[in-house]
Amino acid sequence: MSTALIVGGDQIEGIKQELSNFGVTHINHWSGRKVGDGKKVIPHDTDLIVLVTDWISHTFTHKIKQTAAKRGVRIVYTPNGPTALRTRLKQLNPDYVAEGECSEGIHANARRQDRLFLN
């Protein structure tokens, strides 16, 4: 994935960082509270939409959901915060390992390697 649209939220730096760690290279943001936001068109290069559910109306959520479904764009629903988003991104891609984390498989493989060298 390379382009994401974040809809909702004000302080989204943590969400942006999490998306960057996930491989998203370009991020658009709509607050969802401005008068003109309801008339905006989802950019054509959008691969993923992140709906920050704590900060947008049901009507706006429904509009985004319908448009995304027509275009085949994946949506991730998350409350405001990078930790919740990380959990949902892992559901999209089980191989995703966030910065600062190690998957159990990596540790298990390293232990096997150590045993091979120690024996």
pLDDT one digit per residue (tens) for the chain, 119 residues: 589 999 998 889 999 999 999 899 999 999 888 878 888 999 999 999 999 988 788 888 899 999 999 999 999 998 878 888 998 888 887 676 665 555 555 444 444 344 333 33
Residue 13: per-residue pLDDT: 93
Please count the structural domains in the chain.
1
CATH code, 46: 3.40.50
| Cα–Cα distance for residue pair 91/96, rounded to 1 Å | 9
Q: Is the pTM of this model over 0.85?
A: no
Domain of 48 in residue numbering reads as 3-118
